Chain A
Amino acid sequence: MTQTPHISVQHLNVHIGAQHILKDININIPDKKVTSIIGPSGCGKTTLLKSFNRLWDNTADVKITGKVLVDNEDIYAPNAEVTHIRKKMGLLSQRPYPLPMSIYDNVAYGPRIHGIRKKQVLDELVEEQLKATGLWNEVKDRLNASATRLSIGQQQRLCLARGLAVGPEIILGDESTSALDPVSTAIIEDLFISLKEKYSIVLVTHILRQARRVSDYIIFVYMGKIIEFGPTEEVLLNPKEELTKEYVKGYIS
């Protein structure tokens, strides 16, 4: 934990309506590692993840205070530019949500929005990202088919390719395998592990074994507070806090 953090959260508080969802969160997410956020359902895991790329902006009744520094830039600063921030982070949600267009257009969607028009460049980008997610051989003959025709597992990998195509630095995964079959889950998990060479990855998961398989660090959140943060083996095998111990043993769920 000596390297500089990629995301640094300082005194983050999130209220939704009258509820205080996240309470004074302080955390440094390390660079080029996989960090998993674990905790019982309803503890604020997803809320925390979504506050990293300001996806709460569009929800009414949400109040956010504190700082989230990405590359030392506060994304909640009044002059921060939201599309620029979001471009830095790829989001992989619980279920795959392919955009209503072809496989090719799904991957090319982001680059096009950010001004890449040349067909050749787009072609290369699409191929590169589909290869990175292991989808290329499965779809190269039907790039113009609708993305919704793919299987759920393929769709999720397509969504990952789509996110990678805008050249992010960080990948956010919100229980990204919870809707998938075991084979697809294994593929996605392997992808995460291989992708951490280039990206910092933050995952929300409620499966402890998955957290243990893929992550280098673990954040344990309970009732809107961070209880414990540390290297995976330490948190899961030798938790310092009583609450973490109980959760890891399965007493709290």
Chain B
Amino acid sequence: MNFRLLKDKILSKLMLVFTLASVSLLVIIGIGLYYKSIPIIHRLSWGELITSSIWKPLKGLFGFFPFIMGTLWVTAIAIIIALPLCLLTALYIVEYAPVRVKRILTPFVNLLSGIPPVIFGVWGVLFIIPLIQIYIAPHFVEFSTGYSVLAGGIVLAVMIFPLIVSIISEVLRTIPQELKDASLSLGATKWETIKKVILRKALPGIIAAAVLAISRAFGETIAVLMVCGNNAVVPHSVFDPGYPLPALIANNYGEMLSIPLYDSALMFAALLLFIIILLFNIISRVILARLERKLAA
């Protein structure tokens, strides 16, 4: 009997250690990246690092502004494309689609979420780049290789489809049928009910989905890197190439230890990503948790 209790006690302590260790990963990653970024932060200060546009590692000049802007452009394009499409899709799946159609649709959203980033990249190179270069860009600009923030945005948009659709659908499903019935029995059409009641009720959830999708898009590396041109200049149109932060890290890790301060600069890029994504994730998770609690009550 004593042995059993002892075993339980020891195992419980062990599990506690595992749990704490893996949770504290969140803090350790932040500290580790910050520690490695200290040399460059000391040299150039946060303000200069973030606002300067000059990127000449060999001369010790590290301005992250073009990369930050590249990330923002790509993410903004992705979310502008994906959010309305996914909202409409989720509404269709939850509110309109017959059971049979629902049963067919759900696996595809699931399968799409399983496809690895590099495959999205390959698809971008094979499909989106020519599409932009030959069919879209000529209507707007004189010349484009197709490798642009637009290409990055489109590929990213498709990558975040499953995430947004599944979160919004889940939020829509939590809205009580009686509330919909209340609106319907006043003679509202289904669309009027959606527009005036359901969307209003689901708004926090939709915002949370968008924030989560933004943070996913922020950190996506390889697929974007393959299609957005990687030119360290601030983009001025959707057909300009861009150079998002994750691509910067991935493309230059090889020289990391050969150029002074370069490793510190790249770790600073990772730290920036980490901080932004951490904040966004916490915000959206808190919104979603609140929503869940409110509906459970």
Contact = CB atoms under 8 A, between A and B. Distances in A.
Task: Specify the main secondary structure of chain A where it touches its partner.
Answer: mixed
B99 A162 contact: no
Interface string A169-181: 0001000000000
A60 B103 CA distance: 13
Contacts of A101: 196, 200
A95 B187 contact: no
Contacts of A97: 176, 178-179, 181-182
Interface of A: 53, 55, 58, 60-61, 83-84, 86-87, 89-91, 93-95, 97, 99-101, 109-110, 113-114, 159, 162-163, 166, 172
A140 B169 CA distance: 38
A199 to B, nearest CB: 14
Interface in B161-207: 176-190, 192, 196-197, 200-201
13 contacts: A53-B185, A55-B185, A61-B99, A86-B185, A86-B187, A93-B178, A97-B181, A100-B200, A101-B196, A110-B186, A110-B187, A159-B182, A162-B182
A162 B178 contact: no
B91 to A, nearest CB: 13
Given A60-B98, A93-B178, A159-B182, A83 B196 contact: no
Nearest to A167: B187
B181 A83 contact: no
Contact of B187 (A159, A166, A172): A166
B114 to A, nearest CB: 27
Contacts of A114: 187
A94 B183 CA distance: 15
Given A55-B181, A60-B98, A159-B182, A100 B197 contact: yes
A60 B183 CA distance: 19
Q: Tell me the interface secondary structure of chain B in the complex.
A: helix
Nearest to B175: A100
B188 A110 contact: yes
A202 to B, nearest CB: 13
A158 to B, nearest CB: 11
Contacts of B190: 58
Interface in B26-65: none
Interface of B: 98-99, 176-190, 192, 196-197, 200-201
A113 B187 CA distance: 8
B181 A91 contact: yes
Contact of B186 (A60, A93, A162): A162
Which of A90, A95, A97, A114: most chain B CB closer than 10 A? A97
A233 to B, nearest CB: 31
Interface centre among B182, B187, B189 (most CB of A within 10 A): B187
A87 B185 CA distance: 6
Contacts of B180: 58
B179 to A, nearest CB: 5
A184 B274 CA distance: 54
Given A60-B98, A61-B99, A83-B189, A99 B182 contact: yes
Contacts of B177: 58
A89 B182 contact: no
Q: Which has the most chain A C-beta neighbours within 10 Å: B185, B188, B192, B196?
A: B185
Nearest to B100: A60
A83 B193 CA distance: 12
A128 to B, nearest CB: 16
B255 to A, nearest CB: 55
A90 B185 contact: yes
A58 B184 CA distance: 10
A99 B185 contact: no
A99 B187 contact: no
Contacts of B178: 93-95, 97
Nearest to A94: B178
Shortest beta-carbon contacts, A-B, top 7: A87-B187, A110-B186, A91-B185, A60-B99, A83-B187, A97-B179, A97-B182
Nearest to A95: B178
Given A86-B187, A97-B178, 20 more contacts: A55-B184, A55-B185, A58-B184, A60-B98, A86-B186, A87-B186, A90-B186, A93-B181, A93-B182, A97-B182, A100-B197, A109-B186, A109-B188, A110-B187, A110-B188, A113-B186, A113-B196, A162-B182, A166-B187, A172-B185
Nearest to A89: B185
Nearest to B202: A100
B183 to A, nearest CB: 6
Given A83-B189, A93-B178, A99 B98 contact: no
A84 B186 CA distance: 9
B185 to A, nearest CB: 4
B66 to A, nearest CB: 43
Contact of A83 (B179, B188, B197, B201): B188
A109 B178 CA distance: 16
A227 B179 CA distance: 32
A97 B198 CA distance: 13
A99 B187 CA distance: 14
Contacts of A166: 186-187
